[in-house]
Chains A and B, each alone.
Chain A
């Protein structure tokens, strides 16, 4: 087995555990809610209309949006609960629908026979109607299972670890092996659960007690794992804790701040879903481990979700960018210069949210117009303004979203680039497109490793049309009271230059290294 594959397998118990913990209880409780609700719908037309319209309507909400809505409805809580509730909601429709269809397809003669042998209404339901409708109801439960197991992969961005972690990080790292591994693991889990239910169904029909008992036990133990969320996590956390303390102890002699220990405290690190954030999360993890803390990392979180989680103390620390905070959190429109923005953001985050900006990491990840060295030579380019005379003949590539953003409007206006041709493309391909000459300029990111990989030049922005995107370390209101944590983090301030960050990103994006390895090289102390 290759080391890379081995790494993927090492993460499997945690991620599979997380996935089961979400999916199995969601389906189980989904059954407990939907079957009675389905019965009620069959017995009462007044219940049925509203219930079915509501359930069908909810089902049409795109799953990723439903997850985000749950975070909002729970007042910004991230992690297990919003993901669980969204999955529960998704399990309901197929089960209700099949319960109704199953009960309504029971031969009316059977219902009359049940009455004629002297059954009361509840006995008719339990002894005759439900058993006869069972195959159809189980088919609904199987559909729900396949849906829920699939959709559970989407709970990664709201901070609930699942097999989706492989898929999301694989997409960001352009590591297809990782993506495929995640897909196969998810599909296998779906199939196993589906087959377990099929075995239960068959053994009920053919009245084979033994296989019924076995399959039910297997399913029940999965439900058990699922219903005891503590079972998987604390155990592995405890293990990590041991490791963390031991490593911390080994290194203790070398560290100046060795008196400041986090004493095994759990520190929750958040990260958004792109390469640089994965690497920085590893940097923070290593830092916290070195001072004796127990780091827990939640990656692939949505951009606003990770901020809300920090504000609510659900996570303790993460890295964000001043320009992003300026527009999305503080809702400011026009940018100001780098130093002032850092000061204003720090002041207002503290005043309005109690969030503390420990400091800047030392680099900016801003938008950057990049171009080939040949183009630089041909047109004599050094800054964005130099493009203006040739704008009519040039093509600029970028994310379709970028061309709709106010940043681009400002650049076009300040440098009079109205005549340039815009070519929308996925950001994955735009560096390659510039290198191949398919476009002349690309709107990239200043820390992207592919700028170096393709030997591209970054055009200067003397008019500061792009807002500053200083990478800053943020601590939650609670975490900022932890003096030892603040001291542990402070040495990171101003330690990472833009070229160092770019190199680290490149190691992961092009060199196939893990974010952890890249983090090790970024700060090799």
Chain B
């Protein structure tokens, strides 16, 4: 396989929703190299989710194009395309009437793999996301904690051994400790499997921690793309500067708290 071909490439991608004055996504150009994590960061309503959904054709673009492994997605059956790209949902999106095992194996069954293959792979995936298969396979999603549900969501996204994964604020609804643990696991899995990932988040710290490059979106347009370092040293405008500065401000503040004399902060 040609490693020079980007895993995902967006060219002048534009989406105007009906009755909207401004495009939700406006001429976006981005590319994700194979094995790379690209974070899309931006405020609420900046067009992140819309951009992500155009990649696996949950939303059809108004103009522009999407290429996955060099091939224009409009040439592909959207259903087959979706089965080959993992998708981890905002708010998890597990099917409440299916067991954990059925949820994880759903794409595999759609690909009409044999029952035996599916259950073997499901157990393997559950082990990979650190949920002992024997204990969790037959539970319903409602019988799991938020963090465990998110792990199941990952396992489902990884089931068909996709080379590319789309993630929409996957850690958004978790408590900080669970989120931290899961973020670490995600990063190591991503490295191990050499996944190409588009990670949508509104949290700049998360973007800096988990990605190789960050794209900042603002009002439907990409304001700047680059490594966290490039954004820090060379922000193109005040918006980017402010956004990229938040993780550092937070850590500075925490550091100053630490340096205070004992008791000073509480009285």
Contacts and interface: CB of A to CB of B under 8 A. Distances in A.
B121 interface: no
A116 B56 contact: yes
B110 interface: yes
A120 B93 contact: no
A107 to B, nearest CB: 9
Given A109-B91, A112-B58, A117 B96 contact: no
Interface stretch (B67-75, B79-87, B177-185, B206-214): B79-87
Nearest to A113: B93
A310 B169 CA distance: 76
A118 B110 contact: yes
Nearest to B57: A115
B79 A113 contact: no
B91 A118 contact: no
Interface string A81-109: 00000000000000000000000000001
- Greatest chain A CB density within 10 A among B82, B91, B93 is at B93
Interface residues of A, number: 16
A118 B156 CA distance: 12
B93 A112 contact: yes
A244 to B, nearest CB: 57
A253 to B, nearest CB: 73
A132 B96 contact: yes
Nearest to B83: A118
Contacts of B107: 117-118
Nearest to B84: A118
Contacts of B56: 116
A399 B91 CA distance: 70
B91 A131 contact: no
A110 interface: yes
A427 to B, nearest CB: 58
Given A109-B91, A112-B58, A117 B97 contact: no
A225 interface: no
A132 B94 CA distance: 12
B95 interface: yes
Contact of B82 (A109, A110, A118, A132): A118
A135 to B, nearest CB: 10
B223 interface: no
B30 interface: no
A128 interface: yes
Interface in B67-125: 79-80, 82-83, 87, 89, 91, 93-97, 106-107, 110-111
Given A116-B58, A117-B82, A118-B79, A132 B89 contact: no
A118 B85 CA distance: 9
B95 A116 contact: no
Contacts of A128: 95
Nearest to A109: B93
A120 B79 contact: yes
B93 A116 contact: yes
A82 to B, nearest CB: 41
A119 interface: yes
Contacts of B156: 117
Given A113-B94, A117-B82, A128-B95, 5 more contacts: A109-B91, A110-B93, A114-B95, A117-B107, A117-B110
Interface of B: 56, 58, 79-80, 82-83, 87, 89, 91, 93-97, 106-107, 110-111, 156
**Nearest 9 A-B pairs (CB), nearest first?**
A118-B83, A113-B93, A118-B82, A116-B87, A131-B97, A117-B107, A118-B110, A117-B106, A118-B107
10 contacts: A109-B91, A112-B58, A116-B93, A117-B82, A118-B79, A118-B83, A119-B106, A123-B110, A132-B96, A132-B97
Interface of A: 109-110, 112-120, 123, 127-128, 131-132
